[in-house]
Amino acid sequence: MNAFLWTVAGVLAAVFLLAGAMKVSRSPQQLAASGLGWAENFGAGPVRLIGAAEVLAALGLILPPLVGVAQILTPMAATGLTLLMIGAAITHGRRKEFQMITVNVALLAAAAAVAWGRFGPHAF
């Protein structure tokens, strides 16, 4: 189970590191042109804040257990991503972007599994 949780956390970290870096480095108009239409409705500040949260969560999934410091940050980062994906699913639902909700639910389930495993029976 430990290997499974590491694998899921690694995949989540890669996905959110890339997604967050994109949100931090591009304008809402560029994001909208690449398929993230919701970004225009939010403005540059909130989009960059979401991107920064995604980058920090990605780092929080991997770095604490690797260096052996503050390992409680890993399940906390996974919980934060779970909450972020709930908000994303609500946003996509309001915009009637139902295909994106499927992605949000898959990422939510993966993050919730890591949170459950690392808070519970497979903590570091």
**Residue 124 pLDDT greater than 80, yes or no:** no
> Does some domain include residue 124?
no
> Does some domain include residue 84?
yes
**Residue 54 pLDDT greater than 80, yes or no:** yes
Instruction: State how far the Cα of 88 lies from the Cα of 2, in Å rounded to an integer.
Output: 28
pLDDT of residue 58: 98
**Domain containing 112: what range?**
2-119
Give the other-Cβ count within 10 Å of 109's Cβ: 12
- Are the C-beta atoms of 84 and 53 separated by less than 8 Å? yes
Total domains in the fold of the chain: 1
Give the pLDDT band of residue 4 (cuts 50, 70, 90): very high
> Does some domain include residue 12?
yes
Instruction: State how far the Cα of 54 lies from the Cα of 81, in Å rounded to an integer.
Output: 7
**Residue 14 pLDDT greater than 80, yes or no:** yes
Please name the residues in contact with 41: beta carbons below 8 A apart, sequence gap of 6 or more. none
Give the pLDDT band of residue 121 (cuts 50, 70, 90): confident
Global pTM reads 0.92
> Does some domain include residue 40?
yes
